[in-house]
Copies of this chain bind each other. A is one copy, B any other.
Amino acid sequence: MSDSMEQLVREFERFPGIGPRQAKRFVYYLLATSAQARATLSTLVERVGEEVKQCALCQRFQSGGREMCSICADKSRDKTSLLLVEKDQDIIAIEKTHLYKGHYFVLGGVLTLSGKGVIREDFLVRLIKQKVKEGLSEIIMALSATSEGEHTSDYVRTLLAPYRTHVRISVLGRGLATGTELEYTDEQTLSGAILNRKEF
């Protein structure tokens, strides 16, 4: 393989979930496609970084050159609650439920048990200070139900301790996920399901 082929393979290997074999396949796909298609991709990769900026409040990526994203700018949303997620895509998942009407903050990652990972804690603390003044009453931690998600939730809780007098801090409830059979369900999930049982 040529130098630029090998360099391109290495760039694709950095993509999430992509190993050496698929990275190579991407390069052959690009070689087999038209010069036009490569130019389009090249331009978009460059342009997306210029057009898309992080929202000054929730830190999610958004285009249009505005300071705030559409949710943060929406005055009809409930200012008293803030829901913390790991990544931009999680907001889409929550919005689909049509159950949550408050604001969001994107942590931008999780903290691993081995001490790796970075979250946007300075932005978070600054935002919460401001939102407390504007009447914030609940922070919902909506992280993954994984050991890393729980570890990050624990860390954020410590970070938010000074605000507990004003703000209720909650986490998403545990319970049966769609498709779950009882026999294969772990104790923590089943405990949540029993405690969260509801009128039927």
Contact = CB atoms under 8 A, between A and B. Distances in A.
Interface of A: 1-5, 7-8, 11, 14-17, 21-22, 24-33, 35, 37-49, 51-52, 61-64, 85-90, 93-94, 96-97, 99-100, 108, 140-146, 149, 153, 157, 168-183, 185-200
Interface centre among A38, A190, A199 (most CB of B within 10 A): A190
Contacts of A21: 183
A101 to B, nearest CB: 11
Given A4-B44, A38-B48, A185-B177, A28 B200 contact: no
Contact of A193 (B2, B40, B175, B183): B175
A12 to B, nearest CB: 8
A168 B185 CA distance: 25
A40 B168 CA distance: 45
A198 B173 contact: yes
A175 B172 contact: yes
Interface centre among A39, A46, A193 (most CB of B within 10 A): A193
Contacts of A3: 51, 63
Contact of A31 (B52, B174, B179): B52
A26 B15 contact: yes
Nearest to A193: B172
A174 B175 contact: yes
Contacts of A189: 175, 177-178
B183 A93 contact: yes
Nearest to A7: B44
B196 A175 contact: yes
Given A25-B16, A46-B42, A186-B178, A200 B5 contact: no
B45 A200 contact: no
A187 B177 CA distance: 10
A4 B48 contact: yes
Contact of A49 (B7, B30, B97): B30
